[in-house]
Structure 1
């Protein structure tokens, strides 16, 4: 009999030892290798781009983005941006927490098997075996405490989903602005090079006139000063282009090939804003209702957060009342392993339990007060989010109303500056205008052209701001 009992104990002990030897279940974590260039120069080769995934991610923006290069860059950002990946993982985490809370209201069943060997003074050594199916402390939700906790978890999951959508929309807007800003800076760099070349010609002419004795050293010094200023501006513009490209690639999540970058072509003199441009935004109706703000993901997220806080109040109030739990088990027990399923070996137990805290120093009442204060805070945040959304749309529409007139005036200023420079250059060659007149006319044209580039960029950025303010729909 002793040999038989030891053999019976050997099997579970061997199984436990085998499970203990399986090793740790912690996943291996190795330092990832992000997609980077081979060096810090923009000319270094960029990693390959998954164009299929990028195209699929950017299809929803096809009605707003005209340029296929920009559409592909937006698609790359939506698939490769690390911050967006983190927000997507946060949604999965909150979803799992909701499933955990939902499972808390269901009965938890478990099976247990045990072999016990013990020695007593009265009976000596004895072995007993048991197998049971148990219900572990199932709470009967009398006052909807568990239901309120589940509702709060669901609302937080929905809020996190909307927050992720808001982050996605913000990433698209930031990528659009970064790409368009890079294009504007490239155009400013072209204008800076044109001004540098113009100042170089003026300096060469002043040097030639000085050598012939037709002008003074002061004229040559002025030309040199203007040339060096233009050279410094050209260098600054080149640096700004490289920094803007690095910012765009940071948003995209990986280096971008040159084929996906904007070109530096200057717009035509009388180009209509929006025609042939990288983005397009249909006309906004004059009677646009303020209810469109309710489609913004940040507003919907604030609404779900408010709903979650209301469920928290319900759960805190329900905790003031008694809790009824039920523990039960049914199984079999025998002194012999072969007798576990024999007649007369069945056992069962049912333990209902009612819990009510008589004194907790006001902790549960304080929890109710805290949850109600959190609900008032969530309500204020929801109203503030709505007010912010209204202001953003109103500001974008107000800016848009005056952009057409400003663009027309700036284009007229560029045209006038070009005619003025032509007349001054002709008079300077004939001796009718001074060198100061020529340098001033060149600076005025460069300033007007750069102002036109900046204003066109402001107009395109306004479209993006309006798209974001309207929640990604127009």
Structure 2
């Protein structure tokens, strides 16, 4: 009867253990997006590599600055450190699936009761142990480590994309600042000449003192505006030098090299939002974090079930006394130990609840990341389209106001226009020229934002 009960128990044990199999939540969650972009896409873009679009601008300084900034960026260094940490965690999780082997050795000298004599005893051995992963706790931990390593590698690419975008934006800001400084210097020179002529005319009695005072005030205002603009450019120089690790003197020397105008389009992006989101490293990392959190739930659930471990050892001992040596070899397989959790005060159940909560958080963050990514691309597309629409009008306005100012200045020199009219035309021209420079920077910034929002040309690893 006892043998029959034992046979029944041995037959039913695998079924009972199988009923305890851990069930993790789905490793993938849905984050629906629109079927098409709501903002217009840029046309006639180059199909070159988006990951290095700046090489198409004909600006070698930008290429060098981006490489220098990526080499010294703390964000890139931090991302590399996280990759190393994730790789170490992955190696540890894989090791948990394999048997462990420890070596032991000892030596002693003293009175041996078995041979009733002083003897030298030495022994050495190997101790092996292996936890049989019945319910996949260790396999789930390894899966979580694999997913987090993949996510960390994607974030390294995102860090490089962020640095490239920041450098491109800062250099564009500096060049725009220098253009506006040139506009301000020309304006100050023009106002200074007007003030000089007005002073001469006042001394000759042809210009009222109030008009001459207006010309002097206008010249002083232009000088103050130029000084302020120069200060802004100096700040941009120092910001870019700190970002790239370059010496400011070298940067000032290189920035004077003229560059060709930027093309109207730098690259294209996929027409389908889902294809663009698949190229976002941060979205990929959020997706991998969901999968890792799902594996964590499975691992926590498996900790509530029985654990089976097998151990074994091989050893050899030597006893030497009175010139004689005795050898002793030993080996063993076992015990095969089964540990069944009975009572832990709810600790394991709480760990499952915590893992489930982290999974829910990761799923919510993933969906939010997808929505944010779509919004960032849409906003960049809107800004890019807006700058394209305003470009022709801004150029026409600047040319028209230049012609108007030249005509007004000629009339003023001939005594047919007042100084007030001249200053009004000059003020309008200054605003139009500054607006044109700012629009070019805004368009460059929109391309940079689109490059960053589209993932920087990163591809999902196969």
- Residue 190 of structure 1 is matched in structure 2 by 182
- What does residue range 170-319 of structure 1 map to in structure 2 within 5 Å? 170-255=162-247, 257-258=250-251, 261-263=254-256, 276-277=261-262, 280-283=265-268, 287-319=271-303
Distance 1:85 1:340 in 2: 64
Kept after mapping to 2: 8 A contact 1:66/1:278: no
Seen in structure 2, the aligned counterparts of structure 1 residues 181 and 353 have a Cα distance that, compared at 3 Å, is same
Tell me what 1:356 maps to. 340
Quote the residue 1:389 is aligned against.
Answer: 373
CA contact under 8 A between 1:81 and 1:253: conserved in structure 2?
no
Partners of 2:99 and 2:424 in 1: how far apart? 85
Q: What CA distance in whole angstroms lies between the structure 2 residues aligned with 1:227 and 1:255?
A: 35
Counterpart selection for 1:437 from 412, 421, 426 = 421
1:398 to partner: Cα distance? 1.6
In the alignment, the residues of structure 2 paired with residue 219 and residue 337 of structure 1 have an alpha-carbon distance, to the nearest angstrom, of 122
SS at match of 2:206: coil
Q: Which residue does 2:442 correspond to in 1? A: 458
Quote the offset at 1:127 in angstroms.
Answer: 3.9
Structure 2: distance between partners of 1:264 and 1:411? 24
Q: Structure 2 matches for 1:147-162, cutoff 5 A?
A: 147-162=139-154
**Matched position secondary structure for 1:350:** strand
Name the CA distance, whole Å, in 1 between partners of 2:298 and 2:59. Answer: 52
Q: What is the aligned counterpart of 2:330 among 329, 336, 346? A: 346
What is the CA RMSD across the aligned residues, in angstroms? Answer: 2.8
Give the Å deviation of 1:220. Answer: 2.6
Conserved? CA contact 2:103–2:124, under 8 Å: yes
* Alpha-carbon distance in structure 2 between the residues aligned to 1:173 and 1:228: 38
Select the residue among 107, 132, 141 that pairs with 2:125. 132
User: 1:118–1:192: structure 2 CA closer, same or farther, 3 Å change rule?
Assistant: farther
* Cα deviation digits, residues 58-100 of structure 1 (max 9, x gap): 9944664432221222222223333312321221222122112
TM alignment of 1:49-68, pairs within 5 A:
60-61=52-53, 64-68=56-60
Query: C-alpha distance in 2, partners of 1:75/1:60?
Result: 11
SS of the residue 2:134 aligns to: coil
2:356 pairs with 1:372: yes
Q: Decide whether the 8 Å contact of 2:202 with 2:209 is kept in 1.
A: yes
Q: 1:210 to 1:463 in 2, by over 3 A?
A: same
Given that 1:334 and 1:340 are in contact with CA atoms closer than 8 Å, whether structure 2 keeps it comes out as no
After superposition, the C-alpha distances for 1:435-456 in whole angstroms (9 at most, x for unaligned) are: 1111111111111100000001
Contact 2:55 2:63 in 1 (8 A): no
String of CA shifts for 1:309-332, please: whole Å, max 9, x gaps: 000000000001011222321111
Quote the offset at 1:416 in angstroms: 1.4
Q: Is the 8 A contact 1:65 1:279 kept in 2?
A: no
Distance 1:340 1:192 in 2: 103
Classify 1:261/1:178 alpha carbon distance in 2 versus 1 (closer, same or farther; 3 Å). Answer: farther
Q: 1:401 and 1:279, CA in 2 relative to 1: closer, same or farther beyond 3 A?
A: closer
Distance 1:470 1:337, change over 3 A: farther
| 1:130-161 Cα shifts (integer Å, max 9, x gaps) | 110111x4211000000001111111111111
The match for 1:335 among 311, 319, 327 is: 319
Match of 1:81 in 2: 73
CA 306–64 in structure 1, closer or farther in 2 if over 3 Å, else same: farther
Give the length in aligned residue pairs.
407
1:418 pairs with one of 392, 402, 406: 402
Alpha-carbon distance change, 111 to 67 in structure 1, aligned in 2, over 3 angstroms: same
Name the stretch that deviates more: 74-83 or 384-393: 74-83
Tell whether the 8 Å contact from 1:144 to 1:318 is kept in structure 2 after alignment.
yes
Distance in 2 separating the partners of 1:204 and 1:130: 105
- SS of aligned partner of 1:325: strand
Match of residue 24 from structure 2? none
Long gaps (5+) in structure 1: 1-57, 268-274
CA contact (8 A) 1:186 1:264 kept: no
Task: Name structure 2 gaps, 5 residues minimum.
Answer: 1-49
The question of whether the paired residues in 1 share the 8 Å contact of 2:138 and 2:299 is answered with yes
Higher relative contact order (CA 8 A, sep 6+): 2
